[in-house]
């Protein structure tokens, strides 16, 4: 029973950490796209600041939550060392990351539209 709980905890940690990484990375890419569009003079300064105001806080928050997730899971709870836990983490993280990779091209193209 204990192994089953650890497995599902690892799956949950995998989903949460992958989601926070994907959201943080997407926010970072939005910031970079806004910067490129601003320097190419395709968007105004007001639009640039509005885009940064929407994506920069999300980026910072998601990466801080990702760090917190790893700190709690590995350091505070002391989990993640068993093979079953690592397998559970894999089963949680891969589908979320795979879904992002499938749709990443379309999202990145959308970011570069003024």
Q: Where are the domains of the chain?
A: 2-109
Total Cβ atoms within 10 A of residue 41: 8
The three-class DSSP label of residue 80 is coil
What is the rounded average pLDDT for all residues in the chain?
Answer: 93
Per-residue model confidence (pLDDT) at position 78: 87
Residues in the chain, total: 114
**Alpha carbon distance 6, 2 (integer Å):** 6
pLDDT recorded at residue 1: 64
Average pLDDT over residues 28-38: 96
pLDDT of residue 80: 87
pTM of the model: 0.88
């Amino acid at each position: 029973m204990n192994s089953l709980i650890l497995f599902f905890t690892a799956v949950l940690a995998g989903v949460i950490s992958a989601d926070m990484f994907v959201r943080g990375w997407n926010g970072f890419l939005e910031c970079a796209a806004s910067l490129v569009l601003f320097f190419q003079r395709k968007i105004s300064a007001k639009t640039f600041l509005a885009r940064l105001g929407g994506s920069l806080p999300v980026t910072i928050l998601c990466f801080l939550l990702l760090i917190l997730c790893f700190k709690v899971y590995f350091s505070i709870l002391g989990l993640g060392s068993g093979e079953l836990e690592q397998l559970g983490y894999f089963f949680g993280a891969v589908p979320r990351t795979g879904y992002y990779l499938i749709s990443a091209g379309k999202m990145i193209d959308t970011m570069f539209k003024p």
